[in-house]
Structure 1
């Protein structure tokens, strides 16, 4: 009988895997007019911050993943501690979490000065620890016995959202669909096997329904008690209906795939009843509740024909690690320009430490980005992609008034060249070209190799860094 069950299970897995290998589902356009309006606004914002933070920062380890019983590089933990002893110690971190230097206004000010227009905060990661005052579980930062719970700012998510909104930054909530602390997801009757639910949802439907309601209730708490939220950013894409499994999502299962349907239609309807126009991002679950897609730690090679956002770490890790190495300001600005030229948004991550403070490198990096944005932001905000998107070291963005920016990417320590040339896009007759940060019009001409823009020596000596943006008042029809 056991062999028969295994054979049937393997056949089911093969069948689902085979269908998942078919062409990936296309983007499903939103129909709600309020959401479409918000998506259009979001595409104007271009640059945002995501913050991964939780009790795991006390150990300086990867967020959540070290308690996942999978043999992957990012799930590595201390090999000298048996798994269940490690899990117990990890979950005890919730009690000792005490970020006494938590001042979200400082983060928000740095983000605004960097030119960030929106933010996404981790209200709950996969480990299930809640950084908000949920009534659904005691595994939360405001629970009695937690070191920080007596602090007047203990409801961390609320404090963060309010601080950023006061700086004019749009607020979004990250929320993990899987919950490795919930007995309705990782039932303590069974050991966890991988990142997925650890019991048969068909055999125990009442337990799965309990988890669905738990998820619904927590999201409703966020949608009703934390002010205006404009993005619901859902992670843990393996929690999805079986029919929406893909080759990628199946690769995340070490066990047989299950129908982990949490009823996104009900969740989205409820969330938007409280937050009209809410953008819902059910990450990697291609369907009606993935209003935009989120390539992680990578920039697509070419423009995508749907709304998208690259989420990427400013340093080397999503969560706090001591002595993290941060990407250079030059690299981050080049990433931003490349992403925006391809029609995307850039969501850049920082991870606060256990005391509630960011690495000093995070502040200096954001300050460097902000100095560039003060001069060049008009080439970034409110733009859309325009062919040919990029030609060599020149990227292009288009404003809604028809003007175009040609943005020349400067290498580290490179002096602005005497001539900037590009192909594939031509200024219209009589067009005016002007560099942001300079007053005079630039001299330009066309030749067999494209457009040639002359840069006066006076501008070359000004020490421009990272990139320069040249506004072209109007271009020929392409």
Structure 2
């Protein structure tokens, strides 16, 4: 149960697996509500956020939820003494509720580490597909605050509320991840039938009363999150197979398995959410239309800028959920991903998975510290920036500030690579006069000249030396408009 083959999941590694693959939806509809437009614009300038997948599955150190789904047995095979019998396995999985006791849970520690790393918003999994609620829902006993859960007597038992409060105190925008499908409730996986894949296991048209119960169950749980958990800025809805059948895109492999109408009545949910949380961003992942306010490529970075709001959600380790001895990406790779994403106009949502005792791996804290050191030096070219053509040339990536009078050129450095070159050529911004160029972090005066709509820069030897934590250098290019 302790091996997570994330390589089988992601487009980022060039695979075709369908477990959690989420494509960028077409036919984007821009929000009309001025409060949503304002919130979305603010969110786009934050650039760097924290994602956290956490639930009882961390007790076993396995992939979140998916081992319950017969469809996905190929890439998330069951392990352990109950693996041979599906129903015994489900019972053992659900009994993790009786073992899960994260006594080291301290959300303030996470908020501080994320803030010092330069993160500006957080998205937390209030409920994943397995249906276990990390909040005090009144709709189900399958939750961390139920008396069967040993953590229920802890003053911080309402985990989602504690996390939201802690991060809100540090001025983060707050995002509530919520899975539309729920494999625990009998209103979605009806025990009368065995589940055969990730979808509802009965025909909602044949059993409309049961489907209505599921819609009400989902509506009521989201209503709780919108009511009792302070200001929520983002409602991040996962499980895109719960959707109107007419929206299925058969060119997307995983969507071909959606054969039944699973309309959950998003207008009803959205109207309620925005009445309780004016201006909230709604992310109905992979379901094109007015309730997918931004798109969310997963474990991948688009090859070119998108002309709509977007966010890459990617893992710091190999797994979205906690796995013992996971392999964490080096800070250099994370910084490079951030630069690439921002240069293409997106946000970077970086996932860190807490373990069963309620804390991150010490390596995660170290990575955040290393990232923060770089961000503190070069964040001017990251936050509130916008993409600018040609976006990138080789290992050089460009952003510009909102006033469009400053361009930032990031040069990505390999570990143990060469120092900065003696000469560098960068494209000249059109319709503006070049005013000044500086190498951020260096007091050395640069010499430059314009040749054929390009800037040729001479870099003195004293400014060319790189340190081990110089993951990327940044040139600041100032312009004035005539």
TM-score with structure 1 setting the length: 0.91
| Distance apart, 1:440 and its partner CA | 4.7
Q: Is the 8 A contact 1:404 1:475 kept in 2?
A: no
Distance in structure 2 (CA, Å) of the matches to 1:183 and 1:215: 12
Give the equivalent residue in structure 2 for 1:228.
231
TM-score computed with the length of structure 2 as normaliser:
0.91
Distance in 2 between the 1:450 and 1:34 partners?
41
Q: Which has the higher mean CA deviation after the structures are superposed, 436-445 or 200-209? A: 436-445
Partner of 1:395: 397
Mapped contact 2:436–2:477 kept (Cα < 8 A): yes
Q: Counterpart of 1:86?
A: 89
Whether 2:307 is the aligned partner of 1:305: answer yes
Deviates more, 1:70-79 or 1:58-67: 70-79
Structure 2 residue matching 1:396: 3-state secondary structure: strand
SS at structure 2 position matched to 1:208 = helix
Aligned 8 A contact 1:426 1:451 in 2? no
Contact 1:130-1:141 at 8 Å conserved across structures: yes
Residue 353 of structure 1: how far off its partner (Å): 0.3
Deviations 1:355-392 (A, max 9, x none): 00101111111111100000000000001111110111
Q: Distance in 1 between matches of 2:199 and 2:299?
A: 23
Task: Return closer, same or farther for 1:125/1:248 CA change in 2, 3 Å cut-off.
Answer: farther
In structure 2, stretches of 5+ residues that fail to align are 1-23
1:26 shift after superposition: 1.0
The answer as to whether partners of 1:426 and 1:476 remain within 8 angstroms in 2 is: no
Report matched runs for 1:16-31 at 5 Å: 25-31=26-32
1:3 matched to which residue of 2?
none
Moved more, 368-377 or 462-471: 462-471
Deviation at 1:436, TM superposition (A): 2.0
Matches within 5 A, 1:159-174: 159-174=162-177
Structure 2 contact 25–295 (Cα < 8 Å) conserved: no
Contact between 1:341 and 1:386, CA under 8 Å: does it hold in 2? yes
User: Which residue matches 1:351?
Assistant: 353
Q: Does residue 42 in structure 1 map to residue 43 in structure 2?
A: yes
Whole-angstrom CA distance in 2 between matches of 1:211 and 1:71: 23
C-alpha displacement at 1:248, in angstroms? 5.2
* Cα deviation 1:254-288 (Å, max 9, x = unaligned): 5x611100111110110011111100000000111
Deviations 1:62-108 (A, max 9, x none): 00001111145443212842111111100100121100111111111
Indicate the larger mover: 224-233 or 458-467. Answer: 458-467
Instruction: Give the Cα separation in 2 of the matches to 1:71 and 1:462.
Output: 46
What's the offset of the Cα at 1:444? 1.7
Any stretches of 5+ residues in structure 1 without a counterpart?
A: 1-22
- Maintained 8 Å contact 1:24/1:246: no
For the aligned residues, what is the CA RMSD? 1.9
Q: Is the 8 A contact 1:264 1:289 kept in 2?
A: yes
Q: Is contact 2:249-2:255 (8 Å) kept?
A: no
Query: 1:419 and 1:168 mapped to 2: Cα distance?
Result: 42
**2:138 equivalent in structure 1:** 135
